[in-house]
Chain A
Amino acid sequence: MSPATAAGAARPAVLVLEDGRCFHGEAFGAVGETFGEAVFTTGMTGYQETLTDPSYHRQVVVQTAPHVGNTGVNDEDDESDRIRVAGYVVRDPARIAASWRATGTLSDRLAAEGVVGICGIDTRALTRHLRERGAMRAGISSLDPDPDRLLAKVLASPGMLGANLTAEVTTPTPYTVPAEGAHRYTVAALDLGIKRTVVRRLAARGVTSHVLPGWSTLEDVLAVRPDAVFLSPGPGDPATADHAVTLARQVLDRRIPLFGICFGSQILGRALGFGTYKLRYGHRGLNQPVLDRATGRVEVTVHNHGFAVDAPAERVVETELGRVEVSHVCLNDRVVEGLRCLDVPAFAVQYHPEAAAGPHDADYLFGRFVAMVEGVAPRA
């Protein structure tokens, strides 16, 4: 049971943003000090998936849903081998784990993995602040209650713009996830911070994934004799991901089918010659409406991105690799959510068709990927 809300046992904690705004609450998870980019996510379910998603590496995640931890933690829902967030901010952590699948409580797990959190603060006020002022650096301390000293440390910590984080999250060695049932295709999946569900969704469609470290070369990729290449989601500023962009160019040049998700979509964008930019406070949640411009249908999708591709949505663009169109846009703010190459076999989405957490509306994209590989469907 967490001490955080038990009577009289609360240990004070403080959260300080780089602009000086400060919130006093109670320690949650590990006692200590942590720093990262403060971002909020509006998902109401799936905190375990969120916490273990490598894309949240070096971020202090604010959960807008007030009750977190109700179903505890279990052995099945992790998206990677450990909790990835730099810090965790919730309003009301659960005192017990209530689920037939639970193997422990969230606060125990946070503590066991040394993840520093804070609870009991006005998370809505913090969210509104981040919405108005943009995502920014933050620090949490349950060691030193003095906000001024913490602020100095926050200002000394690195920001997200210009951060190359691939090396910090990628697998050190290649591994293989076999297809479920009959093997149909082999995919080289470049791990820029991959989630387990991505390869599971591929496996479910008969794809064997060779998950390769983020620094893999074209030779490494070709060595697994891939039918296609997958660029994974991940953390950091895509503007720094030159190695992955170069690799993507090489793959596209060879007309190897390519699919990217989130960070992978930004890599594809850059490989096609588009720029990327940092959104003020990003898209993080499980309820974002995305329009598939080809079908006119709307998907409720999972987002977790602080950067986006800068491409003109209203027209087809000529690139060195042929024509490219923006296939998906977010209906909230018209941000580019998908790219489709019309002359090479490649497409990518900025959002998460693998969900985990979130709705499965976009799962068909894995089918579209396989169909592209199969070559039966007209180019994606």
Chain B
Amino acid sequence: MPRRQDLRHVLVIGSGPIVIGQACEFDYSGTQACRVLRAEGLRVSLINSNPATIMTDPGYADATYVEPITPEFVEKVIAAERPDALLPTLGGQTALNTAVALHDAGVLDKYGVELIGADIQAIRHGEDRRAFKDVVARAGGQTPRSRLCGDLAEVRATAAELGLPVVLRPSYTLGGHGSGLARTVEDLERMAAAGLAASPVHQVLVEESVLGWKEYELELMRDRRDNVVVVCSIENLDPMGVHTGDSVAVAPAMTLTDREYQAMRDLAIAVMREVGVDTGGCNIQFAVHPDTGRMVVIEMNPRVSRSSALASKATGFPIAKIAAKLAIGYTLDEIPNDITGRSCAAFEPALDYVVVKVPRFAFEKFPAADPELTTTMKSVGEVMALGRNFTEALNKAMRSTETAAAGFWTRPDPPGVGLAETLQALRTPHDGRLYTIERALRLGAGVAEVAQASGVDPWFVDQIASLVELREAILAAPVLDEPLLRRAKRAGLSDRQIAALRPELAGEDGVRRLRHRLGLHPVYKTVDTCAAEFAAATPYHYSCYDEETEVAPSDRPKVLILGSGPNRIGQGIEFDYSCVHAVQALRDAPAAAGAAAGYETVMINCNPETVSTDYDTADRLYFEPLTFEDVLEVWRAEDASGRAAGGPGVVGVVVQLGGQTPLGLAQRLKDAGVPVVGTPPESIHLAEDRGAFGSLLAREGLHAPAYGTATSYEQARRIAAEIGYPVLVRPSYVLGGRGMEIVYDDATLRDYIGRATDISPEHPVLVDRFLDDAVEIDVDALCDATGEVYLGGVMEHIEEAGIHSGDSACALPPVTLAAAHLEQVRRYTEAIARGIGVRGLLNVQYALKEDTLYVLEANPRASRTVPFVSKATGVPLAKAAARIMLGATIADLRREGLLPATGDGGTVPPGAPVAVKEAVLPFKRFRTRSGRGIDSLLGPEMKSTGEVMGIDTAFGQAFAKSQAAAFGSLPVAGKVLVTVANRDKRAMIFPVKRLADLGFEIVATAGTGEVLRRHGIACEIVSKHYEGDGRDAVSIIEAGEVALVINTPQGSGASARRDGYEIRSAAVAADIPCATTVPGAAAAVMGIEALIRGEMTVRPLQALHAALHASRPPHRTEDPTTRR
């Protein structure tokens, strides 16, 4: 069936900010969908509040709305755009829930919008657990015994009947949020209450535990002719009990016979038909009893999911792209398989390799959180690796995660842990469990014993046991000869792992030299969907130590772009965005002297969620770990294949756009002869070296906060005395503000130094003067080889300095800075860029205090804010940076039109819209060991997982949009709970007065209330702590009385964390907006005012950018950026 001719205009809903359980896999799927729909000649409108996505680049849709994904705003977009159809299956649960809400509210009917790719009944069947159980039964399958409960009494009765442990699953929550295993009566009470609260329909499923059963997922696609294919089978190495997002996952399934696999496939297809997913993808999860084979269906997602992104990357079968085509009427047999170029999409991929996904956690960021893995997803990212066997893929995946340990044996064992304790530890799932399995085997446990303790299938355990045997062989060999080294490499061991076992080889470099001397290099195989049955047209490669390589020769100049690896807090989709832009810019680069147009772009990355690892993005894709060894070998293979074809080979390697991961490799790559382009590694080092950077600032006459370096408390105390409290302390050489704290007194300093030496014993502690109450400013700028500087954008943070820039909301253009300040920012930035020798992007953070601008830090690389700035100003900074790295000048790019002909982001035209970036925080995901919520207080250490953008004509509206997008809307009426630190009482009077004037009821704790009353603000006084009468701060939040919380903590550091902790965690648990700083509260008030005035409109980026460009003069006259 050809595509439907009655559809001309489709609205696509994205998934919003990156949160745990919903990450950039939906940018990947949404981007594919938008491309497909536009290629089919349809008009595409898009709504997504996440500026860091590729899909919100204006080129991917006809009208791109960076607006909150709430039913209200989507309705505004529908009213403005009047699409024929809404495609909600590619934006995760957010999009699906929004579509259901729009349907239920009658909006779709009102505007005559057809839901495509899904129908409401199918969504309800898939998501409503009771309905789903019936569906499975009708399809002839089984589900775990269970009952859906609407209150605590029902939960108790059901648990008594099924017997503990039981699983609790709240209905309609993201990524399994709120679900978990209740082992005890206490667990049951606490988790059921939380689950009922988390569920929008106040229902919790209480279910027979299938803990420890084998876990599988199938990814299916169905077209409107009822053709169904199973794209991929996935087996979770971690058995049931660990959320699939937190499990080590393997594709294809490894431990099923054909009989069992086909029974699963038959049931999956029957369930999909019964649910009524008419077209598109779905994912079905199964549990299989390891001793009896009893199979139960756990759940299904009637949409594209994280697993389908993984399956797409694992097989080369682009599920989202095909789902979009199916949604507009094509059938599977009409869609070509673009990997082979000759077969069609109506088939099931055959793999001749093994895929392993390993989750990436961030428990180090939330030390109070319980690290046990449960059915609530806690990982913040994942990596995927491919190998010709399981151990190869496993070892590659483990080193891809970029954790402290880079695979087995690369870190010393925890001291004094014996076999009994190790086996005991295996009984509780935790991050790093693979290491525990290996240790148990090494300490002498048998395969069966480890399998029994961990619930991991013996086959996987035996594979790890084979590595333990290999380790013994490597340790025992008199010399590491070619056959043994080859065997080690075929098992997937890195040079670094081997070096750890053979110290006489002098480290990783020694192993590599030996390996190269023996002529041992990886070869590259192709992901082709068909196990080599047909020739592949798409160069999607992975390494292995087999015989034959499949890298095709090419004489074009090649550029390698190193991606950013797994998402983690501080390094996420923003960097993938920049990498993808680099690919686009370099592929499309116009012909230069003596060279044809365009470079051949080669992407290296290991994150399956991303757009960069779509085989359609770069000319060639290498799905490889971003370690020195793996990158060096790709470079070698690509360079050799280029030269063999008579071309120049690799002319550049881009390391500046993928965040810290590739940047950390820059120097070693350069030293190994790899042509690293952009800011030289030495210059990068200059910016990181305090002494050298300090001299640069001094030379240029730029201010910086006073600082010192301490290796003992005494030293630190002397420095603090000299520069004055408060001081900002941090271990040197850490990322993302890890371990960074603001210290106000000696006692806290002593405590900190004691802890910091644990964090990083080999490095000293940096002690900086902390600028209290300063305004923090972030700048992204470009600098070319001629020293010309282009200010991309100047952002003013809403929270004061001291909150990590990644967690702070910010506004562009800066909303309170004077022209003189901006001039100063320009002068400083130019001096730093030239002083460092930046070729490409530079991010500088400043603090403005009492009219003095201080340089906090400079990072000569793409920053997290590049996509936000690019979207807000309509200028693709990362594309420009990539071109500059390969030799273009800013003047060239202005001529080409990639940069504006005149002006830059430091001189925003009058009337330009205001964009506000807001961070999204994951506190709700985590619980302490005792089951309490963790603190939501912000500080110098970054905690956010993602961000949103609100854009509008004025700050209030933009801020209100950002809040709506990040947290749900700000309230327009109700009670505001105010409890602020003494130092903030004065500053809080005006905002609170304004709220009272706007009709809010004010509730305050005693001290705050007294000050407010003295200023004529009526307020109810509640006690700060629980006092038994039910009118304390926490109780009224939990009772749902409060619409907004304003709480700034008393004191500092650890004591501040204690102050108000219960209030903040109650607000987080109840999903109530909570301002923890004075400026944050003031911004909230402005947003509330805008909401009350009803000024919220929507406008596509295309229109905003056109207005911005039109307001810039077309010619270069009196351009401030040319003044040097």
Q: Which residues of A contact B (CB under 8 A)?
A: 5-8, 23, 40, 42-46, 48-49, 64-67, 70-71, 74, 76-77, 91-92, 94-96, 98-101, 121-125, 127-128, 131, 285-289, 291, 296-298, 300, 331-332, 355-360
Contacts and interface: CB of A to CB of B under 8 A. Distances in A.
Contacts of B254: 67, 70
A1 to B, nearest CB: 9
The residue in A7, A124, A288, A356 that gathers the most chain B C-beta atoms within 10 A of its C-beta is: A124
Given A91-B388, A100-B290, A100-B292, A48 B352 contact: no
A45 B257 contact: yes
The 8 closest A-B pairs by CB, nearest first: A46-B258, A98-B459, A125-B548, A357-B258, A64-B531, A42-B350, A45-B258, A122-B547
Most buried by A among B225, B350, B354, B532: B532
Nearest to B343: A332
B587 interface: no
B266 interface: yes
A4 to B, nearest CB: 12
B682 interface: no
B469 interface: yes
Given A45-B256, A99-B255, A297-B227, A287 B347 contact: yes
8 contacts: A43-B350, A70-B254, A98-B255, A98-B458, A101-B293, A332-B343, A359-B230, A359-B348
Given A49-B258, A98-B459, A331-B344, 17 more contacts: A8-B473, A45-B258, A64-B533, A67-B354, A77-B258, A95-B466, A96-B459, A98-B462, A122-B547, A124-B352, A287-B349, A297-B225, A297-B226, A297-B227, A357-B258, A359-B262, A359-B265
Contacts of B531: 40, 42, 64-65, 124, 127, 285
Q: Of residues A91, A127, A298, A357, which shows the largest number of chain B Cβ atoms within 10 Å of its Cβ? A: A298
Contact of B229 (A98, A100, A300): A300
Given A95-B466, A100-B292, A356 B258 contact: yes
B612 to A, nearest CB: 26
A175 to B, nearest CB: 24
Nearest to A23: B547
Contacts of B290: 100
Contacts of A45: 253, 256-258, 261-262
A331 B350 contact: no
Which size class do B's interface residues fall under?
Answer: 35 or more
A175 B535 CA distance: 45
B572 to A, nearest CB: 33
B255 A71 contact: yes
Interface string B338-352: 000011101111111
Contacts of A359: 230, 262, 265, 348
A124 B525 contact: yes
B390 interface: yes
Nearest to A1: B462
Interface string B221-258: 00001110110000000000000000000001111111
A77 B254 CA distance: 17
Contacts of B352: 42, 64-66, 123-124, 127
B457 interface: yes
A289 B333 contact: yes
B354 A71 contact: no
Given A96-B462, A124-B546, A331-B343, A67 B258 contact: no
Contacts of B525: 124
B459 A7 contact: no
B111 interface: no
B319 to A, nearest CB: 16
Contacts of A66: 352-354, 388-389
A33 to B, nearest CB: 23
B1123 interface: no
Contacts, number: 170
A94 B459 contact: yes
Contacts of A125: 546-548
Contacts of A65: 252, 350-352, 531
Contacts of A6: 469
B771 interface: no
Contacts of A67: 254, 354, 389-390
Given A64-B352, A96-B447, A331 B333 contact: yes
Contacts of B546: 122, 124-125
B210 to A, nearest CB: 16
Interface string B458-495: 11001000100110110000000000000000000000
B257 A101 contact: yes
B259 interface: yes
Contact of B351 (A5, A44, A289): A44
A289 B347 contact: yes
A360 B266 contact: yes
B534 interface: yes
Interface in B299-357: 331-333, 342-344, 346-354
B258 A287 contact: no
B1072 to A, nearest CB: 50
Nearest to B476: A7
Nearest to A125: B548
A131 B256 CA distance: 28
A76 B259 CA distance: 10
B530 interface: yes
A55 B447 CA distance: 37
Given A122-B548, A124-B548, A71 B257 contact: yes
A358 to B, nearest CB: 7
B551 to A, nearest CB: 14
Contacts of A297: 225-227
B228 to A, nearest CB: 8
A232 to B, nearest CB: 20
A298 B332 contact: yes
Contact of B252 (A44, A46, A99, A300): A44
Contact of A355 (B262, B293, B332): B262
Contacts of B547: 23, 121-122, 125
Interface string B625-641: 00000000000000000
Given A65-B351, A91-B389, A289-B346, A358 B258 contact: yes
Contacts of A77: 257-259
Nearest to A299: B227
A341 B533 CA distance: 32
Contacts of A356: 258
Contacts of B343: 289, 331-332
A125 B534 CA distance: 13
B291 interface: yes
Contacts of B462: 94-96, 98
A74 B293 CA distance: 14
A64 B350 contact: yes
Interface string B195-232: 00000000000000000000000000000011101100
A332 B342 contact: yes
Nearest to B530: A42
A118 to B, nearest CB: 14
Contacts of B258: 43, 45-46, 48-49, 77, 356-358
Nearest to A282: B533
Nearest to A99: B257
Contacts of A92: 388-390
A94 B458 CA distance: 11
A46 to B, nearest CB: 3
Interface string B249-292: 00011111111011001100000000000000000000000111
Contacts of B533: 40, 42, 64, 127, 131, 285
B472 to A, nearest CB: 7
Contacts of A71: 255-257
A128 B548 contact: yes
Contact of B347 (A7, A98, A300): A300
A144 to B, nearest CB: 20
Q: Which of A43, A131, A297, A358 has the most CB of B within 10 A?
A: A297
Nearest to A132: B535
